[in-house]
């Protein structure tokens, strides 16, 4: 049962697509105080578990810390960080009572989940202008399914997007991309996508190409496609201010940019220098900006990734002026003027300043809305701009799209990657723990930068991370400029990388089927063990193993130098390892605790009792997969419903997309 409560005058985020009438009175679970803003309180039982919050720090069970929904460009994902790039305000309390809460509120919102007081859940925000959805159900899983049913179908990418992708900030020329393609093809490591970071543009200007490096771009796109490789360019939120740059001039003339209070266009510096932000909350501006993706789709591009869309601000002219004043004060009066420490603090506060977010506005339905009051919606609506445009550009075709910043609702238009992680073992584990929480909020096409974006990866870390990435819908190796070369062929014994990435392709018939089933039935692709085994007290505590689809469990190795790991099996399962010689080992393990050995060049999974999965032969690209001749792994007599469409169009309901196969 779902009840909707209204407080004040909420901003219509369009996160929820179902038409739910507003209920009278107050929720029966918890207490609400409206004396200073909004405050929801619930006293948790000792054994209550709290799920949700999508892209948030720490564990699957969110209890014991404080989280703040305030989309933030912060690449230092340490345990003390309370805000990341997204705002996913959905939680499930599971235990003595089972209920879910979605707080539809587009600005800063705090979830204190047993942080201030260990038994107290407290949700607070400054203004009592929001919708609160209360969902009651039989279990946490039931509540998630109900929530998924009211927020709309999850985004479905083209099938090539389930292949492996290579990215690096620093690929600048055609030869850079050709070198990557050749490195993978020469070493027979499968590859479907190469990502284009900001250096493909002319001066970091959206919807431009560096003419010196990318002449005859359509021919280059065609050249890559002939190798079954798609180029996937980045689009940033900031539009460079430059005379003669058509996007800037059109936006200024059409009034499509965010404004300052005096009506002038807001100015902030990002990669191109000073920029304007498209007012993507304004439907007219959103349509204008979305249609600009045609510049690249008309040249053969079939996928994009949106970045810097919190939106990220490096500094503003006003912020720089403030620092100049402090420096002048220090230089002119070293005894009584500003101190060097004040200058340092002011410099550190330049980026993503709350003061700057309070200084520009959106036009929504004829009203001027200050940005900080709808801050968490920017990334959502930038990606929505693209998703709506793709429906105009080619309504029957699927385009690849994922974003850095998001809000619930954006899951209908694209996926997300989890941002600028580090080449740390702890971030490999964080990647694993984020996946089911994101699924709860509708985001199915998800993944992290495999190997880590910042810092230098190591061979063993990359192999272990790839062995997790085998199972995430978005499987992309991405790293920052200035870090060591991270392409798979840069390391010794490339055959190990060939094998691990090859396992991804062997599993695509299963992974794609489970993704499509989850998307089309508002279900989860990744689940905590507790969702499948709610009566098992040990399963409730497991956070480093996940259920995937309806047939398998995954338990990656995430510890440096480990030769294996301990696993907990709630029931008998078939322990499967994909071996480097191409063979597959299988051993039935009884319910309980086991230590399993897993070498660096092996990919493990566990098939549930009575289940089976389809496996293909390895291929160099998704296009080359043979899905008609499949091997079946699992228990004798088990059946599996395979979903298989053309991977391009949207004919999802065609009964020919499904067929039963048997072990």
pLDDT digits (tens, 9 = 90+) for 519-561: 999 999 999 999 999 999 999 999 999 999 999 999 999 999 9
Q: What is the pLDDT of residue 340?
A: 84
Residue 171 has pLDDT above 90, yes or no: yes
Q: What is the pLDDT of residue 584?
A: 97
Burial code of 191-218, b = ≥16 C-beta within 10 A, e = fewer?
Answer: bbbbbbbbbbbbebbbbbbbeebbeebe
Residue 278 to residue 389: CA distance in whole angstroms: 15
Residue 362 to residue 137: CA distance in whole angstroms: 38
Contact 633, 606 (CB under 8 A): no
- Averaged pLDDT, 407-428: 98
Residue 242 has pLDDT above 90, yes or no: yes
- Cα–Cα nearest to 401, from 418, 389, 392, 413: 413
Residue 323 has pLDDT above 90, yes or no: no
Min mean pLDDT across 42-56, 260-274, 278-292, 336-350 is at: 336-350
Q: What is the pLDDT of residue 342?
A: 87
**Residue 289 in tokens:** 């900006």
Residue 334 has pLDDT above 80, yes or no: no
Q: What is the pLDDT of residue 556?
A: 98
Residue 336 has pLDDT above 90, yes or no: no
Q: Which residues lie closer than 8 Å to 473 by C-beta, 6 or more apart?
A: 157, 161, 162, 415, 444, 445, 446, 447, 511, 515, 525
- Averaged pLDDT, 267-293: 98
Name the band, by pLDDT with cuts 50, 70 and 90, for residue 330: confident
Q: How far is CA 19 from the centre of its chain?
A: 27
User: Phi and psi dihedrals of 167, rounded to 5?
Assistant: -145, 155
Q: What is the pLDDT of residue 64?
A: 98
- Cα–Cα nearest to 304, from 185, 157, 202, 164: 157
Give the tens place of pLDDT for each residue, 451-498. Answer: 999 999 999 999 999 999 999 999 999 999 999 999 999 999 999 999
- Averaged pLDDT, 173-183: 98
3-class DSSP state of 332 = helix
**Pairing of the two strands 38-43 and 49-52:** unpaired
Helix count (H) and strand count (E) of the chain? Answer: 14, 36
Residue 463 to residue 557: CA distance in whole angstroms: 10
Q: What is the pLDDT of residue 162?
A: 98
Residue 276 to residue 258: CA distance in whole angstroms: 7
Residue 306 to residue 298: CA distance in whole angstroms: 18
- Averaged pLDDT, 131-144: 98
Residue 461 to residue 481: CA distance in whole angstroms: 19
3-class DSSP state of 317 = helix
Residue 335 has pLDDT above 80, yes or no: no
Residue 431 to residue 412: CA distance in whole angstroms: 22
User: Phi and psi dihedrals of 50, rounded to 5?
Assistant: -120, 120
Please name the residue that has the structure tokens 């070198």.
179
3-class DSSP state of 234 = strand
Q: What is the pLDDT of residue 197?
A: 98
DSSP letter (8 states) at residue 494 = H
With 0-12 / 13-18 / 19 or more C-beta atoms within 10 angstroms meaning exposed / middle / buried, residue 184 is buried
Residue 591 to residue 612: CA distance in whole angstroms: 18
- Averaged pLDDT, 240-265: 98
DSSP assignment of 1-15, as one string?
Answer: -EEEEEES-------
Q: What is the pLDDT of residue 293?
A: 98
Please name the residue that has the structure tokens 């020469």.
186
Q: Which residues lie closer than 8 Å to 432 by C-beta, 6 or more apart?
A: 468, 544, 546, 556, 558
- % of the chain with per-residue pLDDT over 70: 100
- Averaged pLDDT, 2-23: 98
- Averaged pLDDT, 581-598: 97
Burial code of 256-283, b = ≥16 C-beta within 10 A, e = fewer?
Answer: bbbbeeeeebbbbbbbbebbbbbbbbbb
CA distances from 413 to 89, 148, 380, 562 (A): 18, 15, 8, 39
Q: What is the pLDDT of residue 338?
A: 82
- When the pLDDT of each residue in the chain is averaged and rounded to a whole number, the result is 97
Residue 177 has pLDDT above 90, yes or no: yes
Contact 288, 320 (CB under 8 A): no
Give the tens place of pLDDT for each residue, 376-385. Answer: 999 999 999 9
Taking residue 636's Cβ as centre, other Cβ atoms within 10 Å add up to 9
Sign of CA dihedral 433, 381, 108, 348: positive
Q: What angle do CA 484, 416, 145 make, to 5 degrees?
A: 140
Residue 634 to residue 572: CA distance in whole angstroms: 12
- Averaged pLDDT, 89-114: 97
């Amino acid at each position: 049962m779902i009840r909707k409560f209204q407080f004040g005058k909420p901003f219509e985020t369009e996160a929820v697509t179902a038409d739910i009438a507003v209920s009278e009175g107050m929720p029966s679970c918890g207490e609400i105080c409206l004396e200073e803003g909004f405050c929801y309180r619930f006293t948790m039982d000792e054994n209550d578990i709290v799920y949700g919050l999508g892209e948030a720090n720490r564990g699957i069970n969110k209890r014991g810390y404080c989280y703040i929904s305030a989309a933030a460009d912060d690449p230092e994902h340490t345990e003390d960080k309370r805000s990341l790039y997204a705002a996913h305000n959905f939680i499930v309390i599971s235990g003595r009572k089972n209920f879910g809460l979605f707080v539809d509120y587009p600005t800063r919102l705090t979830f204190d989940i047993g942080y201030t007081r260990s038994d107290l859940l407290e949700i607070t925000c400054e203004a009592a202008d929001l919708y609160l959805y209360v969902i009651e159900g039989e279990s946490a899983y039931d509540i998630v399914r109900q929530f998924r049913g009211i927020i709309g179908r999850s985004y479905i990418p083209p099938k090539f997007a389930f292949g492996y992708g290579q990215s690096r900030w620093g690929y600048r020329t055609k030869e850079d991309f050709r070198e990557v393609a050749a490195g993978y093809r020469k070493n027979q490591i499968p590859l479907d996508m190469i990502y284009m970071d900001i250096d493909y543009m002319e001066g970091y200007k959206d919807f431009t190409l560096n003419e010196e490096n990318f002449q005859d771009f359509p021919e280059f796109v065609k050249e890559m496609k002939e190798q079954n490789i798609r180029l996937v360019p980045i689009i940033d939120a900031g539009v460079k201010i430059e005379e003669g740059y058509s996007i800037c001039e059109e936006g200024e003339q059409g009034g499509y940019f965010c404004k300052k209070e005096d009506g002038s266009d807001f100015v902030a510096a990002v990669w191109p220098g000073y920029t304007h932000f498209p007012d993507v909350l304004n439907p007219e501006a959103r349509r204008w900006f979305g249609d600009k993706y045609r510049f690249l789709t008309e040249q053969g591009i079939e996928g994009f990734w949106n970045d810097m869309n919190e939106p990220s601000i490096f500094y503003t002219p006003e912020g720089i002026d403030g620092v100049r004043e402090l420096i002048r004060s220090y230089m002119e009066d070293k005894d009584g003027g500003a101190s060097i420490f004040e200058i340092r603090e002011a410099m550190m506060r330049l980026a993503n300043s709350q003061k700057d977010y309070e200084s520009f506005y959106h036009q929504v339905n004829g009203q001027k809305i200050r940005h900080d009051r709808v801050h968490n919606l920017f990334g959502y609506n930038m990606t929505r701009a693209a998703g709506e445009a793709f429906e105009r550009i080619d309504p029957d075709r699927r385009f690849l799209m994922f974003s850095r910043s998001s809000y619930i609702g954006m899951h209908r238009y694209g996926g997300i990657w989890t941002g600028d992680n580090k080449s740390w073992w702890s971030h490999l584990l964080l990647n694993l723990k984020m996946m089911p929480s994101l699924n709860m909020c509708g985001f199915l096409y998800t993944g992290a930068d495999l190997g880590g974006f910042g810092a230098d990866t190591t061979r063993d870390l990359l192999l272990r991370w790839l062995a997790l990435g085998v199972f995430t819908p978005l499987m992309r190796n991405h790293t920052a400029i200035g870090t060591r070369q991270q392409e798979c062929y840069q390391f010794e014994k490339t055959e190990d990388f060939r094998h691990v990435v090859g396992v991804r392709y062997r599993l695509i018939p299963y992974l794609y089927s489970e993704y499509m089933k989850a998307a089309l039935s508002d279900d989860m692709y990744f689940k905590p063990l507790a969702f499948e085994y709610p009566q098992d007290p040990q399963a409730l505590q497991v956070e480093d193993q996940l259920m995937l689809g309806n047939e398998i469990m995954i338990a990656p190795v995430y510890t440096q130098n480990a030769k294996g790991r301990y696993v907990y099996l709630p029931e008998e399962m078939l322990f499967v390892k994909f071996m480097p010689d191409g063979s597959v080992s299988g051993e039935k393990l009884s319910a309980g605790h086991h230590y399993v050995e897993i070498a660096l060049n092996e990919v493990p999974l566990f098939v549930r009792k009575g289940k089976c999965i389809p496996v293909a032969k390895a291929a160099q690209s998704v296009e080359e997969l043979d899905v008609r001749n499949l091997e079946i792994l699992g228990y004798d007599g088990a059946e599996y419903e395979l979903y298989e469409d053309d991977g391009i169009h949207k004919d999802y309901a065609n009964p020919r997309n499904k067929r039963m196969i048997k072990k």
